[in-house]
Structure 1
Amino acid sequence: MLRESRKKELKEQIFLQALQLFREKGFEQVTVQEITAKCGIAKGTFFNYFAKKEEILLYLGESQIDLLHQSIEKHRDIDHPKEQITLVLGDLLHNFSSHSELMRLATMEIMKSAHLAGEESKSVHQLHQQLASILDRAIQNGKLQSRWETGVIATTIVGVYFHTILSWTLQGAQPTTTISDSFRQQLDVVWEGIDGN
């Protein structure tokens, strides 16, 4: 278990150091050699974690999915599905904003690359599935009544989530509100059309 924890810490270190270099020099200009030198690791060690430089950017989605599972478990006892979803996605957004400049860079690079965007869609699909499961449980437990199918609701919430990230990313260094508050406000608007109560 300790070994797995150390491996995860090293992967996170490589990710953050690489993003820092990408920010300073531009994604295309940074080499794997520079990343390994900054991390103090051998090239072989780098390739144990990432097959190529582009995969570093995909770790953003991968790490968010790990956090998603942890957050769902943490908020499992919240009765109301809207509050549970707000807390779960709020955790993801807080993580995103805690490394704001680096996460903005990763988001922009993923949006520029069709290959990276295609790979990132796997993480988006997992997020959609988890939200649909929360909604299904809420309907089965009588906590949510809606005329919409859970897949449609989950798609709408995922859309709000990524719109929040995109808007916040494009705002630059001085956003007018926290990313979590922005998401909560937008979810409040769409939830009125979701909840049949």
Structure 2
Amino acid sequence: MLRESRKKELKKQIFLQALQLFHEKGFEQVTVQEITTKCGIGKGTFFNYFAKKEDILLYLGESQIDLLQHSIEKHQNIDPPKEQIRRVMDDLLLHFSAHSELMKLATLEIIKSASLAGKESKSVQKLHIQLASMIDRAKQNNKLHSRWETEVIATTIVGVYFHTILSWTLMEVQYTTISESFRKQFDVVWEGIDRN
């Protein structure tokens, strides 16, 4: 377990150090050698974690999915379902905003690359599946009464989540926190979800 924890921490550090280099020099100008030098690791170690430089950017989605599972477990007894989902999504957004400039850079690079965007869709699908599972449980336990199908609700919440991230990434000036921005949009959407 300790070894696995160290591996996760090293992967996260490679990701953050690489993003810092991308931020300073531009994604295209940074080499794997520069990343390994900055991290104090050999190329072999780097390639144990990432097949190529571009794959570093996919860690953003991977780390969000790891956090998602932990967050769902942490908030599983929260009621009502709206509050449970909001807290889970809030955890993801707080993680995103912890290194906001670097995360914005990773998001922009993923958007620019069709190949990376396609690979990132796997993380989006996992998020959708987890949300759908939470919504199904709430419906089965009679805590959510909605005329909308589970898939439609999950897709809508995922859409609000990514709209929030994209808006936060693309806008120069921020008037609210990313979590506050999500909450406001989520409140509007939830009014249409939790109705018979």
Question: If the TM-score is normalised by the length of the shorter chain, which range does it land in?
Answer: over 0.9
- Give the equivalent residue in structure 1 for 2:21: 21
Identical columns (%): 80
- Give the equivalent residue in structure 1 for 2:66: 66
Correspondence 1:187 to 2:170: no
Q: In the alignment, residue 153 of structure 1 is paired with which amino acid?
A: I
Q: In the alignment, residue 111 of structure 1 is paired with which amino acid?
A: I
- Give the equivalent residue in structure 1 for 2:86: 86
CA distance in 1: counterparts of 2:185 and 2:10, whole angstroms:
36
Q: Over residues 151-182 of structure 1, what are the superposed CA-to-partner deviations in whole Å (9 max), with x where a residue is unaligned?
A: 0000000000000000011123x410000011
Runs of 4+ off more than 2 Å: none
Q: In the alignment, residue 160 of structure 2 is paired with which amino acid?
A: V
- Give the equivalent residue in structure 1 for 2:101: 101
- Give the equivalent residue in structure 2 for 1:136: 136
CA distance in 2: counterparts of 1:167 and 1:49, whole angstroms:
30
CA distance in 2: counterparts of 1:84 and 1:117, whole angstroms:
28
Scaled by the length of structure 1, what TM-score is found? 0.98
| Distance apart, 1:80 and its partner CA | 1.1
- Give the equivalent residue in structure 1 for 2:169: 169
| Distance apart, 1:119 and its partner CA | 0.3
| Distance apart, 1:39 and its partner CA | 0.3
Q: In the alignment, residue 34 of structure 2 is paired with which amino acid?
A: E
- Give the equivalent residue in structure 2 for 1:48: 48
| Distance apart, 1:3 and its partner CA | 0.7
CA distance in 2: counterparts of 1:118 and 1:194, whole angstroms:
29
Question: Where do 5+ consecutive residues of structure 1 fail to align?
Answer: none
Q: In the alignment, residue 89 of structure 1 is paired with which amino acid?
A: M
| Distance apart, 1:100 and its partner CA | 0.3
Total equivalences in the alignment: 196
- Alpha carbon RMSD of aligned pairs, Å? 0.7
CA distance in 2: counterparts of 1:5 and 1:141, whole angstroms:
35
| Distance apart, 1:79 and its partner CA | 1.9
Scaled by the length of structure 2, what TM-score is found? 0.99
Correspondence 1:75 to 2:75: yes
